Chain A
């Protein structure tokens, strides 16, 4: 169902601008929709905490910290 060019957000490089194409976990999906992160949103990876820490992304003018476990379940494509 996901296009071939898609990858996990966790694999995006620092500074990459990507577009969300979907989520692979039900719980993660519910939670992200709730805080207003939807498929189609463009986000940029701003920072990475070391040692498997969270990513800091900019989305729609605000910044969000997403744990690795969450970022693994967000599918993105270059955008």
Chain B
């Protein structure tokens, strides 16, 4: 038996799926999180049922690829029962899709989800009346708390064996969007009574958070808090973690001997494994947990609202702010979050620009070179310069790829209290993606570089990168650290020490060189983990284009920095 879940974006469909299938789908109080559909086998009343979670859709009249898939799926595949998840707190809008589904002529069950939210808003829904007029079972549901899930599935499996006997006409043409809109409005008017609304803090919160002045102040405070906590956790975890991993590596590789070929390659492999852990635990995990929290509360659409005007200046709209914020922590979740943008052009641009944002690893290079040798002011200047370059790149890209989407159209969901289960589940879901996709490549790349190093052919990288280092006026030996930086950005700093034979960079490089080198490191090719995620989200071609773009941007920016630095220092 096969059940398909269908509903409008943000109706709690994925929450329901996760309740029955265990954590497999991404949910978010930000619509469009289910891009591809997920299937899972679940047991319902002794029977095994295949459950499909279709992407959220407003209508079957498809206009984008995801919606087209939904319409196709329903008409072609052998779906036994369609479970229409309707948002009880916005019944009128939800019923539009329900009316459209009646015309599909498949067994249909309507789940009125978010009954708790509806009750809070003082809405009393006449379920039996609705059931009678629609001619299909209508059941109450609170998916987030698992209430009503069982009876929903039992009813669905009973219905699977019945021929659909409904299809009332309502005296309207169900294939006409406007007709459905009006009919749904009428139904909602008839079967939903507005009782007393219990206003609470959630309804007043936007007075502050979307305020033309205080809203931005709050945004600043929230983001500062977010970064302080998340960086704080990362900083706390990273040093002891690296110490343990280094000791493990020595214990493992030591007996074989670091000088032998096997030892070198093994060491490289261990380094790759370490790099993965050093990205996941201190950066990815705290950031994804924090993101999940903000997302489930419903704050991200508010950020999109506040930042829309600014984002238009660089050719994107408000929703694209999320990748930028995340980019300061780690580019990997930043690129993942571009998925919520509908237009391919916007996804591409947001991903390209977000990879130019200096992540925590690049921060360590800025600190180790610029802040340490040149002082805090040049470091601050570097961050401002980075913002300027990103804005400029955005403007130039917009010239080449004109803004195509009409602008921001975004439903503003009510604030919700997140549950730890979904926040952790979601973080785990995204980390698993990273572990499966990017980690193996990281390990392999690290082993290969180690092997090349053993045969002393790594020096060839210095030669390969020489055109770049020459233009930028950098020492010949800085080529290799730049290549290593692609594996993990901090390696640029570590390997620079090895390549120059001293950790006192100030003694062997001039201030201009240090500044130019750092600017280049901040912009050029994102790290391997980010590249893998870029490939996943945008395809190999998209990844290569962005890689090329970052090299060009890095060269131009570093040249400009060299010019400025020569005058200033």
Contact = CB atoms under 8 A, between A and B. Distances in A.
A30 B185 contact: no
B489 interface: no
A15 interface: no
Contact of A54 (B61, B177, B206, B305): B305
B406 A70 contact: yes
Contacts of B305: 49, 53-54, 56, 65
Contacts of A35: 58, 409, 411
A32 B405 CA distance: 12
A33 B177 contact: yes
Contacts of A79: none
Interface range on chain B: under 10, 10 to 19, 20 to 34, or 35 or more? 35 or more
B177 to A, nearest CB: 6
Interface string A23-41: 0010110111111101110
A51 B408 CA distance: 15
A13 interface: no
B550 interface: no
A66 B96 contact: no
Contact of B308 (A31, A39, A54, A60): A54
Contacts, number: 105
Interface string B284-326: 0000000000000000010011101110100001100000000
A48 B289 CA distance: 31
A38 B408 contact: no
Given A53-B309, A73-B406, A67 B411 contact: no
A62 B210 CA distance: 16
Contacts of B220: none
Contacts of B93: 36, 60, 62
Contact of A64 (B59, B89, B210, B411): B411
A15 B182 CA distance: 25
B410 interface: yes
A28 B185 CA distance: 22
A39 to B, nearest CB: 8
Contact of A47 (B58, B178, B210): B210
B167 interface: no
B178 A60 contact: no
Given A27-B406, A52-B309, A67 B317 contact: yes
Nearest to A27: B406
A40 B506 CA distance: 70
Contact of B408 (A25, A39, A60, A65): A65
A57 B308 CA distance: 15
A40 B513 CA distance: 64
Interface of B: 58-59, 61, 63, 89-90, 92-93, 96, 121, 177-178, 181-182, 185, 206, 210, 212-213, 301, 304-306, 308-310, 312, 317-318, 405-412
17 contacts: A32-B409, A34-B61, A34-B63, A38-B178, A40-B182, A49-B210, A53-B308, A56-B210, A60-B93, A63-B411, A65-B305, A65-B318, A65-B412, A66-B407, A67-B407, A67-B408, A68-B309
| CB-CB nearest 4 A-B residue pairs | A67-B407, A67-B408, A69-B407, A53-B309
